Structure 1
Amino acid sequence: MSAIRTKKLGLTGKILLGMMSGIIIGLILRNLFPESEFIKDYITEGFLNVIGTIFISSLKMLVVPLVFVSLVCGTCSLSDPSKLGRLGGKTIAFYLFTTAIALSMAILIAIAIHPGQATMVTESMHFDAKQAPSLAEVIINIVPTNPMQAMSEGNMLQIIIFAVIFGFAVSHIGERGKRVAALFNDLNEVIMRVVTLIMQLAPYGVFALMAKLALTLGMETFSSVVQYFFVVLSVLLLHAFIVYPTLLKLFSGLNPITFIRKIRDVQLFAFSTASSNATLPVTIETAEHRMGVDNKIASFTLPLGATINMDGTAIMQGVATVFIAQVFGIELTISDYVMVVVTATLASIGTAGVPGVGLIMLAMVLNQVGLPVEGIALIIGVDRLLDMVRTAVNVTGDTVATVVIAKSENEFNEAVFNDTQAGKVAPGFNAQLHVGNK
C-alpha cells in the first residue's frame, strides 16, 4: 500500500497537482473577485508572490556555485586537452545545428500558415527595445576581466570560461591538483544535496507561480494574436516531441519514448520557472541519475547548453519575424530569411537563460532585416505563456545533446537509461545515487 502511495506522490505527480490546482484556484479567485483590492494586494502580490519568488530565488541561488563547481569537476576529469577540445566542439556544433533546424522550421511553417494580417491596426503600437549586444561585444565579453564580478552578476558565459580554464589548470599541477579536485568533488556533493532538499518544495512553489499567473495574465490579449500563438506553440511541440526524439534515435540509437518519460520533471520545472538557468540543478540531477550520463559530461554540456542553446527562443524569433513582416505588409527576400537564421543562431550564444530575454534578441533580429521593432508590442501579451513552453523546449534540447554526446564519448550508462526506476528510489530525487565517476 505504501509503495502505491509513494508512486502516486512522486515528484512529477506533485508538481502536476500543484500546477493544476494553482491554475484552477487562480481562475476561481479571478472570476469571483475580479476587482478585489484585497485579492490583488494580499493574495496575488502578497502570499503568492512571496512563495513563488522565494522558490525561484532558491533555485537561482544554486546556479552560480553549481555551474562553477560542476564545470571545474568536469574539466578536472578531462585532463587530456584533445578530449576537452573534442567535447567542446561536439557540444557547440550540436547546439548550433539544432538551433538552425528550429529556426528554419519555424520560418517555413510561418510562411506556409501566414498568421499575420496586414489589415491589423499598427499605428498605436509601441515597444521600447533594450539595446541588444552586437556579435563583436558578445565575443569580447566571453572572457571575464573579473571572475568574482562575473559570479556576482551571474554572467554564465564568463563563469563557464573561467571554470574551464581553472579546472584545466587544476588537472595539470600533479598531486596538489588532485587535492583541489577532491575538494571540488566534495563541494559538488554538498550542492547536489541542497538541490534535492529544494526540489522537495517544488510543488508549493509551482502552485504559487501558476496561481499568480492565472490571476494576472490578460486573457484579452489572445484575441488579436491567437493564430501567432498557436503557430509558435505547434512548432515548439513539434521540435520537442518529433525533432529531438528523431535526433536522439539517429545519433545514439536510444529509445526516444524512454527519454521523454524521464525528462518530464525537468520540463515541468522549466515550464513553471521560465528560466533555463533556474532549472539547471534539476537538469543536471536528471541527466546523471535518471538518464545515466557521467558527471564529467553532464557538468560540462548542460551549463553550456543553458547559456547558448536556445532553440525555443529561436522558434519564437523565426515565427515572430514572419508574423511582424506580414502584419506590416513587408516582403522579406530569401537573403533576409537567411540573415534571420544566421543572426538568431549566433545571437542564441549571447542569450541569457532568464525569463523574457528572447524579446531583446528579437529586437536585434528585426533590426537586422529592417522590420519595425514596434511590432513586438503585438506579441508581448502572450509571450509569458510561450516563454514557459519554449524554456521547456530549451532544457529538452540540452538534455538530448548531453545524452548523445555522452554516448559518443562512451561516458554513458545505458542500463540506467533503460531502468524506469533509476533515480527514483524515493519520491523526488536521490542525491546519494551516482552514475559513473565523479
Structure 2
Amino acid sequence: MKNLPLHWKIIIGLVAGIIYSLVSSALGWNEFTKDWIDPFGVIFIRLLKFIAVPLVLFSIIGGVAGLPDPSKLGRMGAKTLVAYVVTTVAAVTVGLVVVNLLQPGGYIDEGQRVKNRLKYELWAESTPGGRILDGQRYLSMPEYADLVEEAESAMAAELNNQSVEERMKAAEQFKEAGPMQFLVDFVPDNIFAALTDSGRMLQIIFFGIFFGVMLLLIPAAKAQPVRELVDSVNEVFLKMVEVVMEAAPFFVFALMAGVISKMASTPAEVIEIFKGLLSYSVVVFLGLAFMVFVFYPALISILVRKISYGGFFRRISPAQFLAFSTSSSAATLPVTMECVRDNIGVSQNVTNFVLPIGATVNMDGTSLYQAVAVVFLAQMHLVDLTLGQQVTIVLTATLASIGSAAVPSAGLVMMIVVLQSVGLNPAWIAIVFPVDRILDMCRTVVNVTGDATVSTLIAKSENELDVKAPGALEL
C-alpha cells in the first residue's frame, strides 16, 4: 500500500466508504456512522477550504507579480474568460442534446405526467404574468375532471416546501440585481471580511490581481521582499496540502460513508430514491461523462497533442476523485493546482492565475445538469419547449453560472433562475432534490476537469507548458 499511487489509494477509500455505508445501513449502524465517522469527512472539507482561500490569494499575487510582461495579464485574462464561457456553452448544448434525444421525462408513468400537467396549468393560471407555454389546456378536458382536485392539493403541498422557498428568495435577489451587479460584487468593501467568507472568492481574486499589479508598478527593490514573502507563504500552504493529502484515503472513506448514511436508513431506501429519478439521473450522468471522457480529452488531443488520452487522466485523477468526494471545486482547488503544475507541467504563473478563477466562475458540470433538469421537468409535465426557449436556457444558464459564484446553494438557485427564464414553475426543483447530492459529486468532477483543461490550453497558448514524460510523474 505504501508505494501505491495516491489516486489508487483514494479510489480504494471511496469504494470502501460506499461498501461500508451500505453494510452499516443494513445492520442499523447509521447513527454510529453519522456520529463517529462522518465528522472526519467534515473535517477534511474544512481543512481543504481553509487552505484554499489564502492559497488563492497568495497564488494570484505571486502569479501576477511574477509576470515578466505586465501586458500579458490582460491577454491571459481575456483568453481565460473566453475559454471558460466557450466550455460552459458547450456543456449546456451537450445537456440539451442528450435530454432531447433520450427523453427521460417520457419514462415517467403517463397517468402521473397528466397529473403533473394539471398542476402546471393551475400554477400558470394562478401566477401573475404566468401563461401556459404550449397553449394546450388539459384542465378543460372532461376526461381529466376527476384529477383536478387531487392536483390542487398537490399544488398546495409544493407551495409550502420550505427548502424551495428559501432558494426561491435567493434566486429573486439574484434576479433583482442590476446588470452591473456582477462587477460591483467583484470589488470587496473589506478584504478581511472577504477572506473569512469562501463565497466571496471573486473579491479575493480581484484583490490578489490588484495587489500583484501594484507590485509590478512599484520599484523592484521595494517589491522584491514582498514577492519573496508571498512566495514563501505560498510554499507553506502547498506543504499543508501535501500533508493533508497523505490522509486523503481515510478522509474520503469517511466522506462517502457519511453521505450515503444521510441519504437513507437502509440500502432499499437508497435504491428507492434513485428508482423514481433513474432516467433523469442516467441522462445527466451520460452528459457529464461525455464532457469528461470525450470533450475535454479531445480539446487536449487537438490543441496540445503532447498528452495522451490516458496520460491526461493519470495526471489529474487525484483532483477528480477528490472532487467527487467533496462536491466542492473550492475545496479541491489546492489539489487541482498541484496536479496541473506538477503533473501536467503548466507554469506556476498560469496555474496561480487561471485555476482560482475557474474554481469560482467555471461551472460546466452544473450548467449541463441544469439544462437536462429543466427540460426533463418540462417533459414530465407534458410541456413541449420550443427551440427558442431552449436557446434561452443556453444563454441563461451560461450567464447565471458566471454571476452566481457568491450565491449559497448556487446550483439549485441557478436552476430556479433558468426555470423562470422560460416560464416554468421554480418549485419543481423539489422533484430533483433526492438525487441532487450524488449528481453534485459527478458535476464537480466535470467542473474540476474543465478547470484543468482550460489552464493547460492557456499555458500552451502562452508557451508556458512543459509536459512531463510519463515516467516523471509521481501520483
Larger radius of gyration: 2
Question: Aligned partner of 1:14: which letter?
Answer: K
Question: Aligned partner of 1:322: which letter?
Answer: V
Question: Aligned partner of 1:98: which letter?
Answer: T
1:335 deviates by 1.9
Classify 1:251/1:102 alpha carbon distance in 2 versus 1 (closer, same or farther; 3 Å).
Answer: same
In structure 1, C-alpha distance between the alignment counterparts of 2:406 and 2:24, rounded to whole Å? 32
Q: Normalising by structure 2, what TM-score?
A: 0.83
Question: Aligned partner of 1:21: which letter?
Answer: A
In structure 1, C-alpha distance between the alignment counterparts of 2:79 and 2:310, rounded to whole Å? 24
The question of 1:237 aligning with 2:281 is answered no
Task: Tell me, yes or no, if the aligned pair for 1:276 and 1:353 is still in contact at 8 Å.
Answer: no
Task: Tell me, yes or no, if the aligned pair for 2:365 and 2:443 is still in contact at 8 Å.
Answer: yes
Q: Tell me which moved more, 45-54 or 289-298.
A: 45-54
Matched with 1:36 is none
Question: Aligned partner of 2:383: which letter?
Answer: I
1:201 deviates by 1.3
Matched with 1:435 is none
1:82 deviates by 2.0
| Structure 1 segments (4+ residues) deviating >6 Å | none
Aligned pair partner of 1:141 in 185, 195, 210: 185
In structure 1, C-alpha distance between the alignment counterparts of 2:58 and 2:51, rounded to whole Å? 11
Identity %: 39
Matched with 2:11 is 16
Deviation string, structure 1 residues 76-110 (Cα, Å, up to 9, x no partner): 01253321001001111011101101101111210
Question: Aligned partner of 2:361: which letter?
Answer: I
Matched with 1:100 is 89
Matched with 1:288 is 341
1:137 deviates by 2.6
1:215 deviates by 1.9
Classify 1:420/1:230 alpha carbon distance in 2 versus 1 (closer, same or farther; 3 Å).
Answer: farther
Which structure has the highest helix share of the two?
Answer: 2
Matched with 1:436 is none
Aligned pair partner of 2:195 in 148, 151, 161: 151
Question: Aligned partner of 1:421: which letter?
Answer: A
Task: Tell me, yes or no, if the aligned pair for 1:95 and 1:305 is still in contact at 8 Å.
Answer: yes
In structure 1, C-alpha distance between the alignment counterparts of 2:352 and 2:83, rounded to whole Å? 17
Over aligned residues, Cα RMSD in angstroms?
Answer: 1.7
What secondary structure, in the 3-state scheme, does the structure 1 residue paired with 2:414 have?
Answer: helix
Matched with 1:434 is none
Matched with 2:206 is 161
What secondary structure, in the 3-state scheme, does the structure 2 residue paired with 1:380 have?
Answer: helix
Matched with 2:48 is 59
The question of 1:421 aligning with 2:472 is answered yes
Task: Tell me, yes or no, if the aligned pair for 1:99 and 1:310 is still in contact at 8 Å.
Answer: yes
Classify 1:277/1:352 alpha carbon distance in 2 versus 1 (closer, same or farther; 3 Å).
Answer: same
1:356 deviates by 4.6
Matched with 1:382 is 435
Deviation string, structure 1 residues 207-235 (Cα, Å, up to 9, x no partner): 11111223222422212211000000000
The question of 1:396 aligning with 2:449 is answered yes
Q: Tell me which moved more, 348-357 or 335-344.
A: 348-357
Task: Tell me, yes or no, if the aligned pair for 1:157 and 1:307 is still in contact at 8 Å.
Answer: yes
In structure 2, C-alpha distance between the alignment counterparts of 1:251 and 1:79, rounded to whole Å? 25
Deviation string, structure 1 residues 140-171 (Cα, Å, up to 9, x no partner): 21111221111111211111011101100011
1:257 deviates by 2.4
What secondary structure, in the 3-state scheme, does the structure 2 residue paired with 1:250 have?
Answer: helix
- Which structure 2 residue ranges, 5 or more long, are not aligned? 117-150, 265-269
Question: Aligned partner of 1:157: which letter?
Answer: L
Aligned pair partner of 2:232 in 168, 186, 189: 186
Task: Tell me, yes or no, if the aligned pair for 1:275 and 1:355 is still in contact at 8 Å.
Answer: no
Matched with 1:252 is 304
Task: Tell me, yes or no, if the aligned pair for 2:311 and 2:470 is still in contact at 8 Å.
Answer: no
In structure 2, C-alpha distance between the alignment counterparts of 1:392 and 1:354, rounded to whole Å? 20
1:320 deviates by 0.5
In structure 2, C-alpha distance between the alignment counterparts of 1:148 and 1:421, rounded to whole Å? 40
1:419 deviates by 2.7
Question: Aligned partner of 1:51: which letter?
Answer: F
In structure 2, C-alpha distance between the alignment counterparts of 1:304 and 1:206, rounded to whole Å? 26
In structure 1, C-alpha distance between the alignment counterparts of 2:65 and 2:428, rounded to whole Å? 47
In structure 2, C-alpha distance between the alignment counterparts of 1:74 and 1:101, rounded to whole Å? 29
In structure 1, C-alpha distance between the alignment counterparts of 2:101 and 2:470, rounded to whole Å? 42
In structure 2, C-alpha distance between the alignment counterparts of 1:354 and 1:6, rounded to whole Å? 41
The question of 1:81 aligning with 2:70 is answered yes
The count of corresponding residues between Structure 1 and Structure 2 is: 411
Classify 1:353/1:27 alpha carbon distance in 2 versus 1 (closer, same or farther; 3 Å).
Answer: farther
1:352 deviates by 3.2
Task: Tell me, yes or no, if the aligned pair for 2:38 and 2:257 is still in contact at 8 Å.
Answer: no
Aligned pair partner of 2:25 in 30, 40, 52: 30
1:45 deviates by 2.4
What secondary structure, in the 3-state scheme, does the structure 2 residue paired with 1:370 have?
Answer: coil
Classify 1:353/1:15 alpha carbon distance in 2 versus 1 (closer, same or farther; 3 Å).
Answer: farther
1:354 deviates by 9.6
Question: Aligned partner of 1:141: which letter?
Answer: D
In structure 2, C-alpha distance between the alignment counterparts of 1:279 and 1:86, rounded to whole Å? 27
Question: Aligned partner of 1:348: which letter?
Answer: S
The question of 1:228 aligning with 2:280 is answered yes
In structure 2, C-alpha distance between the alignment counterparts of 1:403 and 1:354, rounded to whole Å? 28
Classify 1:245/1:282 alpha carbon distance in 2 versus 1 (closer, same or farther; 3 Å).
Answer: same
Matched with 2:420 is 367
Matched with 2:101 is 112
Matched with 1:72 is 61
Matched with 1:431 is none
1:330 deviates by 2.0
Task: Tell me, yes or no, if the aligned pair for 2:34 and 2:262 is still in contact at 8 Å.
Answer: no
Deviation string, structure 1 residues 41-72 (Cα, Å, up to 9, x no partner): 4x232112211111111111111100000000
The question of 1:348 aligning with 2:394 is answered no
